[in-house]
Structures are given as structure tokens and as C-alpha cells.
Structure 1
Amino acid sequence: MRGAPGAAGRGAVARLPGRLAFLPLLLAIGAGLAFGLAAPAAAAHMHVLTEAFIRVLGWLMCPLIFCMLVDGAAALGRNRGLGRIGLAMLGYFGAMSLLSMVAGLLAGWVLEPGIGMASASAGGAALAQPGAGTGAGVVAGYALPHWMHLLPPLQANNLVVLALALPLGLVAGTRARTPFLGAVDRARNILLAAVRIVLWLSPLAAFGAMASAAARAGLASLLPLLRFIFAINLVSVLFVFVVYGGVARLIRLPLLRFIAFLRDELVLVAVTGASLAVLAPLSDKLERLGCPRRLTDIVLPFSYSLNLAGTYLYIAMALVFLAEASAVPLGWHELAVMLGVGLLSTKGAVGVAGSALATLATTAALLHVLPADSVAMLVAIDKTMKCRLLTNVLGHGLACIVLALRDGSLDRDALRSALAVRP
């Protein structure tokens, strides 16, 4: 609803934090790195800043996604023409999931990043030590404030939220405007404003994450994993430019300009390790690109659960890496089993800190071919896997543009205007 009153105001609000946050985020990264190297004992405690930021963000994002889904489902119920979006959306997400999983498995099989590594159990125990306790709320003797344990953390699966919100929205959409939908809309606006306020604290989260990482990560312990880090980043870049680039070419979208347009959101995701942190500003940016709000409110929440190409790439390559490091023989049959199990277990995995590792551990357990402790090998480097989150965010934005074009609601003039100038 590009002509709706206040739309320009919302865009301005979204642009202001992005512009002002870019430089502080970079300064926070540099300060965190220097502090971590100069005073590692003290810097190891700083991870609590990131932990608190993610916990508060998680408390806000769960109800925000619920409200967006209810509102979007109600629009589907009112306008049967929007039902076409659902089928196209599921088809597109399914194709991207399959492509990314296949690409990750084949890349790991060809590049063989885990060949020649030490025993998974021995290496895993050693490498897990620097990250011990991460995510449990206690870091190097420092604990989160007690009240924060009352806030629900971000979960690795939000399909329960989807299942609850969709029928409520569809039923409400079949009736005239109800007080329930009015309350949902007001709650959505309040939560969006709250998220933007929390995002002003992202430099503190970036400082804490970088200081803690610099204090904990020893080069000697990470050397055996550098090949895997290089491989997953290389494959992610290739996936973006080959697969996303192919889709962008089909819809006549300049991919490099699109990436530059989302640079503030990509930087924020890279330093916080939470792609949900950019849900609100990404929605505003997509509206400026010509995607109607009614469509992004439907597509984005589903995309954050079902369209995670970067996460699927990472999990697929990690499974092959762990199998090679554990000396488990891999052939076409084993790869096919990994593909099937991976496609099922990764659905609904949200791109936030720790979710990919949890999903990877679940997938490895379901396969019954990898040592139980092999996933611990990746704990020390899990937070460096920013490529998966960046790939996810680009995929979310591209999906909205593709589906808006498919729906016939994409404003091409707005798209050309937005990409012709600096956002």
C-alpha cells in the first residue's frame, strides 16, 4: 500500500537508524577486536552483551511474526486472488531449498574439506572448550540478569507460531474488520517500533561478540577448520551469484545494486549473528523497492522459516565435512540419505545465533552414521559462519520481489528509482 498515509514516514524511520548505525557498528567491531586482543580475560565476559541483545530481540520477534502472519493470512481470507501467492511461494521456497541442499552436499563431496583431519571425537572435545557454556546464559562466570531468563529465547523452530497464526488470520479475514484484527494491527506497529529501538543497541552487541570471539578463538585450534570456513564461504558466494544471479537476470533485477541497497541490513546481520534483527527494516526496504506491504507481510515470515538457502548450504556441507573428518565413507547413496533427512529436519529453522548448530546436531542424530560428539567440532567456529545468514537475507528479499512480480503487484518504477540512487 504505497499510497497509504504514513508509508513515507515509516521508510524514513527505517532509513535513519540504518545510516546512523553503519559507522557505530564498524567502530564497535574494531573496538571489540582491539579489546579482545589486549585484555582477553576481561573481554571473554563481553559475550553477555550479545546474549542479552538476542534474548530481548527474541522476546519481540516471536509476537511480531505472529502478528504479521495473522494480518497476512487475514488478507488472504479477504482477497482470494492472493491465494495464488501461497502456491507460488511454496513452489519457489521448495526449489531453493532443494538447490541449496544439493549444492552444499556436492560441494562438500568435491572439495573434501574434512579429509585428513584428526578423529572427530578428539578434535571435537578440544575445539568445543572455547565455546563451552555459550547459549546457556552463563559466560566465563558472568550470567544474564535474572529477569532475562523470563524472556523466551529465539527458538530454532517457529512452525508452532505459523500453525497458530494462519488459521486465526484466515478465519478473521472471512469476516468484516473485527476488533481482533484491529488489536493485532496495533500490536504489530508497537512491536515494529520496539524492534527499531532495540536495534539502536546493536553496536553494543557487536562489540560484545567481537571482543569475546577475539579473546576465545586461538589460531592454533582453528587451523584445522580453515579449509571448511573457506569452502563454505566460497560456495555461498557462488550460490548467490549463480543461483540468485540467474533468478535476478530472469526478472531483470540488477543483483549487485540490490545487494548494495541492502548493505546496512547485511552489516547488521553480520555483526549480530541474527537475521531476525533486520526483519522490520528489510520489510521497509522492500516496500521502497515496489513490493506492497500486504505481500511482504505474508512472504517474509514464511521465508524466514522455509526459505533459508544459506542455512541449508551450511548444514549440507557440514554433514559432509563431519563425515569425512570421522572417516565415514560417502557415496551417492549416503548423499541421497543426507539430502532427504536434511530437507525434512531443516524446515522451520530460523536464521539466528545457534539455530543452525542445533538443527545440524538434530540432523546428524537422525542420520545415525556420525559420531554423537562430532558436531562439537564446529562449536568453535559456528559464530563465524555469517555467510549463511547473509545468503538467507538476500534470499528473503529476492523472494519477495519474485513473488510480487508473479502476483503482478510489483511497482517497477519504484524498483528502478530505488536502485538508481543510494538508499
Structure 2
Amino acid sequence: MKKLFSNLTFWVLTSITLGILLGHFRPDIALQPILDGPVKTRFMGQELTIGATISELLSGLFISAVKLFINPIIFLTITLGIVSMGDLKKVGKVGAKALLYFEVVTTVALIIGIVVANVIRPGDGVMTEQLKGGDISKYTKGATEFSWLKFFLDNVTLQVLVFAIVLGIILSRYSGREQVVALMTRISKYIFWGLHKVMLLAPIGAFGGMAFTIGKYGLGTLLPLAKLMGTVYTTMAVFIFGGLGLIMRSYNISLWGFLKYIREELLIVLGTSSSEAALPSLMEKLERMGCAKSVVGLVVPAGYSFNLDGTTIYLSMATIFLAQVFNVHLDMNQLLTIIGILMVTSKGAAGVTGSGFVVLASTLTAIKVIPVEGLALLLGVDRFMSEARSITNFIGNGVATVWLANNEKAFDRQKMAYAFGNVTESEDIKKDNLDPLPE
């Protein structure tokens, strides 16, 4: 019993349950305003948001605190990884393989979404009278403003990735790099030490995130679009256990064992609806389970921008869903056009304010046969489906890293066996790392 109460996974799961109960039975408390409006600021390249309600404040503070660690961890991991790799040709090879993998897998996810939506047809019977109460102007405006330059300038993580790669290449050729590497290694230890402390607040963040979602939208909003939600969740489950499961099986690795290993991070993503909240922790766990630091450093940050399997599935299904709602028949040429557009625009979903909605709006605008106003139908349930998107994106990036590490023979199977067999012990190691660092 004592071990259970000291387990972070237990507390995150408990907090999610309590958040659902509070949001459902006492939404007045969950949505109690404490500020005049949301507060947004930027720090260390990350946009930090503090919500106006109690529940948003709890969730926002936790996510904002974790965001502060993302760019420093990505920078240090990539730079140190490239220096330790030594061979710059290998760096380019891993990067090229990663981008090819991302394009192939996200295209498969896109096709799966379109096929399933056409088979189940979740949009049939949905009444357009439900189009009300949603301001979609900011999404349509964002769709017209999208460009790859804007995508790069808005995506600080991508900028850090590029800078770290350049610095890593420079350091790998610098004769006095040992002292610089030693300093960066020590800084990295302190940053991860700080991250571990912040992660102890995960139950509070998960509680706030769930309380806000249920309190604002209510479980009743799910009923009109329950078929769409069920279809999206089922499709993503099939993709994870079918598609990603096969990828893991190609190297004789258990997907279920991997999911069990990262269960704590999955619950945090579920509670906060943000894959960012567990991104640094995922990178650390991938290294601990045997993936080379250099591969983790290149694949995870790049995947955060370009390997959005869950977002791709959602965008394809939402597009077909709205076509069915408005009785728009899409011929094969139009379906191929949708696939082509989403293959490009879905890559910008992580770097654009409004995320999937902006990309979806840009797709509908480009096709010109499905009314963009249909987005208002999805506003109420988008938050509930964002959890499925975030979890699928999160798992997809983990699987991509494991696959590429194996493909590059940069994977330690003994470490994996130990990590999978001692999940609770690895959580205890995390707690042990909270002790004061030696001077």
C-alpha cells in the first residue's frame, strides 16, 4: 500500500478521475474565474499561457513549467549526441532516414483515416442545425496566413533543432571540445534534475486539465457527435496496435511492453491534452531503454514537428466527416487532392497557433467544395479528441525513435530488457535523482 501511494502513476490517474468528477458535478467551481482573462507570455522561446479559471491555472502552470525544459533539453541532447556520434555522414544518414520514415508512416495514417471514415460514415445523419456557438474566424484567418516561413519562425523547437545540429557539427570539428562537452553534460544533469522535480506536479496539472475540459464542454456535448468520436478513437487504436505494433514487431520488440514502460507519461498527456507535457521525460526514458542519445536527440524533436500520426488521422477523418454532413460527394480525384494537401499541411500543425483547426481550415479552403463553416460542428468535441491525437502523436514518436535506433544498430537490447522488467524501479530511480546534485 505504501508503494502504491508513492507511485506517481497512481496519483496522476486519481487526479484525472477527480478532475472528471469535479467538472461534471461542480462546473461552477472548475470554471471559477480568478483572472480577467488568459495571460500569455514568452520565455526561453516558449509561449506560456496561464488560464483565467482555477482549473486552467493549475493545468497551465504545470504545462508552462515543463515547456521551460523542452528547448534546453533538445539543444543539449542533440548537440552532445552529434559530438559523441563523431561521424557527420552518420548524422545526415539518420536525419534523412527519420524524415523518410515520418513521411511514409504519416501517409499511411492519412490513408487509414480516409478509408475508415468512408466505411463507417460518421457524418451521415448529423444535422447542420447544430452549427452554432463557435467562432471560426480565427481559424480561417490562420489558414490564409499559413506559409512554411511562418511555420519555421513560429516553431521555436524547430529553430533550436537546427541551431543544435549546426553547433554540434562545429563542436565535433573543434579540437578543444572536451571542456565544452564536459560543461554541457553537467548542465544537462541539472536540467533533468529540475525536470524531475517539476514532474511531481503532474497530478495537479492533470486534475486541472480534466476539470476544465469536462466543466466547460460537459459530457452531454459528446452525444451528437459520439459516432465521430468513437470512429476517431477506434481508428487511432487500430493504428497504434496494428500499424505501430507491426513496426515494433519488425525488431522483435513488444509494443505493449513499451506502452507499459511509458504509462506515466501517457497519463500525463491524457490529463493535460498536451504531448509537450511529457516530451522531455520521453526522451530520457528512450535513452534509458537503450536508444542512443544521438538518435533520440535527432528523432524526437523532429518528430514533434513532422511525425504527427494522430493529428494526420484526425484531419483526414474530420475532412471526410464534414463532406458527409453536407452531402458532398468526393470523387477519387478530390480524395487524392485531400491526401496530397494533408501530406504537406499536416506537417505544420505543431507550429501554428490553433494547431489542427488551422490546418483543417486551410485544407477545406484549398478543396473549395466543403463549407469551412462546418468547423463550428467540431469546436465542442475537439478538446475531447485532442487527447487521442496527442497520445497517438506521442506514441508514434517513441516508436519512430526505437525503430530508427534499431535500424542504425544504435540500440542496447539489454538496457531495454532491464527497463521493461523494472518499470517501477525506473520510477524509483527518478525519485533518487531528486536528491541534491553533488558539487
- Shorter-chain TM-score tier: 0.7 to 0.9
* Contiguous gaps of at least 5 residues in structure 1: 1-15, 134-154
Of 9, 17, 23, 1:30 maps to 17
Partner of residue 140, structure 1: none
Instruction: Decide whether the 8 Å contact of 1:76 with 1:83 is kept in 2.
Output: no
**Amino acid of the residue matched to residue 405 of structure 2?**
A
Q: Which moved more, 1:216-225 or 1:398-407?
A: 216-225
Q: How does 1:106-121 map to 2 (within 5 A)?
A: 106-119=115-128
Q: How does 1:11-410 map to 2 (within 5 A)?
A: 20-44=7-31, 45=53, 46-75=55-84, 78-119=87-128, 122-126=129-133, 128=134, 158-178=157-177, 185=185, 187-350=187-350, 355-385=355-385, 386-410=387-411
Q: 1:49 to 1:420 in 2, by over 3 A?
A: closer
Task: Give, in whole Å, the separation in 2 of the partners of 1:356 and 1:189.
Answer: 35
Q: Which moved more, 1:305-314 or 1:375-384?
A: 375-384
Task: Give, in whole Å, the separation in 1 of the partners of 2:331 and 2:6.
Answer: 49
Task: Give, in whole Å, the separation in 2 of the partners of 1:34 and 1:206.
Answer: 13
Instruction: Decide whether the 8 Å contact of 1:75 with 1:294 is kept in 2.
Output: yes
Which whole-Å deviations, capped at 9, do the CAs of 1:358-403 have from their partners, x for residues lacking one?
4333433443333233223222222212222222222222222211
Cα offset for 1:339?
A: 0.9
Task: Give, in whole Å, the separation in 1 of the partners of 2:246 and 2:389.
Answer: 19
Q: Percent same amino acid among aligned pairs?
A: 29
Q: 1:254 to 1:298 in 2, by over 3 A?
A: same
Aligned residues: 384
Task: Give, in whole Å, the separation in 1 of the partners of 2:358 and 2:173.
Answer: 39
Give me the TM-score of the superposition, normalised by structure 2: 0.78
**Amino acid of the residue matched to residue 232 of structure 2?**
I
Task: Give, in whole Å, the separation in 1 of the partners of 2:234 and 2:96.
Answer: 32
**Amino acid of the residue matched to residue 162 of structure 1?**
L
Cα offset for 1:78?
A: 4.8
Task: Give, in whole Å, the separation in 1 of the partners of 2:186 and 2:363.
Answer: 39
Which whole-Å deviations, capped at 9, do the CAs of 1:53-74 have from their partners, x for residues lacking one?
3333334323433443444444
Instruction: Decide whether the 8 Å contact of 2:63 with 2:276 is kept in 1.
Output: no
Instruction: Decide whether the 8 Å contact of 2:77 with 2:293 is kept in 1.
Output: no
Which whole-Å deviations, capped at 9, do the CAs of 1:256-312 have from their partners, x for residues lacking one?
222212211111111111112222222222223221223212221112222221121
Q: 1:414 to 1:76 in 2, by over 3 A?
A: closer
Task: Give, in whole Å, the separation in 1 of the partners of 2:66 and 2:358.
Answer: 19
Q: 1:189 to 1:330 in 2, by over 3 A?
A: farther
Instruction: Decide whether the 8 Å contact of 1:159 with 1:348 is kept in 2.
Output: no
Task: Give, in whole Å, the separation in 2 of the partners of 1:111 and 1:236.
Answer: 14
**Amino acid of the residue matched to residue 97 of structure 2?**
A
Q: 1:393 to 1:291 in 2, by over 3 A?
A: same
**Amino acid of the residue matched to residue 83 of structure 1?**
G
Q: Which moved more, 1:102-111 or 1:162-171?
A: 162-171
Task: Give, in whole Å, the separation in 1 of the partners of 2:114 and 2:166.
Answer: 36
Task: Give, in whole Å, the separation in 1 of the partners of 2:131 and 2:78.
Answer: 40
Task: Give, in whole Å, the separation in 1 of the partners of 2:71 and 2:376.
Answer: 28
Instruction: Decide whether the 8 Å contact of 1:245 with 1:255 is kept in 2.
Output: yes
Instruction: Decide whether the 8 Å contact of 1:124 with 1:374 is kept in 2.
Output: yes
**Amino acid of the residue matched to residue 23 of structure 2?**
G
Give me the TM-score of the superposition, normalised by structure 1: 0.80
Instruction: Decide whether the 8 Å contact of 2:23 with 2:218 is kept in 1.
Output: no
**Amino acid of the residue matched to residue 420 of structure 2?**
L
